[in-house]
Amino acid sequence: MGGRRGKNKGRPVSGWIILDKPEDFGSTEAVSKIKWLFKAQKAGHAGTLDPLASGLLPIALGDATKTVPYVMDGRKIYEFTVRWGAERDTDDMEGEITQSSDLRPAQSDIEALLPRYTGVIEQIPPQYSAVKIDGNRAYDLARGGETVEIASREVEIHRLDLVACPEDDLAVFVVECGKGTYVRSLARDFGRDLGCYGHIAKLRRIGVAPFSDEDMVPLADLTALEEMADDAERLAALDAFLIDTGEALANLPHVAITDDQAHRLRMGNPIILRGRDAPLDEADVWVTARGRLVAIGEIGQGEFRPRRVFGN
């Protein structure tokens, strides 16, 4: 008889790598590289970054992949530079110029525009985006030469600041925004409103809640360890960069439980939470025993019901 089929190859390593993704490097490519470096069984990312963008790409390994949705929903912070004078079909440096202007906006005009883009706004995603239209990705249709109608959607801008105007045709911004916001669309729409057109010249993500730029690890710091000949030493050095799986849930309510309760949860059973401070009703809660993540679930009428359970 042969061995078991379908068994995961690699180490059952779990945790987060908060990668400082370089430009001209795809998000999927980055996940594959990290999975290979760590010899991990599973890996996934929480929020795609365009290849031309750099910065914070949260990559989950092993059990941490179960927490990806909670990071995907987190607020994002971007630094971005808009170049005035031309609109491009991709809304970044890569595309063809579709409209141009000799006008350049005054700093006061740019600042006056920002309140209109703060709060809940309507936004049309770029033609070159991953939005699905009749089952097809918008960027696939755009590359095929089609101009497609993409419906506008509500997105939330929590903070939007003009940082600098280093040249007449450049403006640098910082934006803190909710899920589904396209920064390329902001650049396009700013340019249209100001009558001078615009596109993204530089884009860098510096935050995906609950992670920040302080958590970022440059890819070069990880790949430099490939030179270590000893497998065990190399993997130990890589693992030192991992952030605990539970850190992804830092913005959710947390309850500490006993070992007996943890055992019940790992068997798939609900538990009763007693005590004066025990919450009665919560949609998303994470529970730990001895500081280790046991489960994510919901509390109803003082009972915790697990949705995702984590290994011993």
Which tokens sit at 312?
């011993």
- Residue 193 sits at the vertex; the CA angle it makes with 192 and 199, to the nearest 5 degrees, is 40
- No. of helices (H) and no. of strands (E), the chain: 8, 19
Amino acid type, 77: I
What does 163-210 look like in DSSP terms, one character per residue?
EEEEETTEEEEEEEE-TT--HHHHHHHHHHHHTS-EEEEEEEEEEETT
Active-site residue, from 20, 50, 63, 91: 50
Helix %, strand %, coil % of the chain (to 5): 30, 35, 35
Amino acid type, 85: G
Is-catalytic flag, 63?
A: no
Residues labelled catalytic = 50
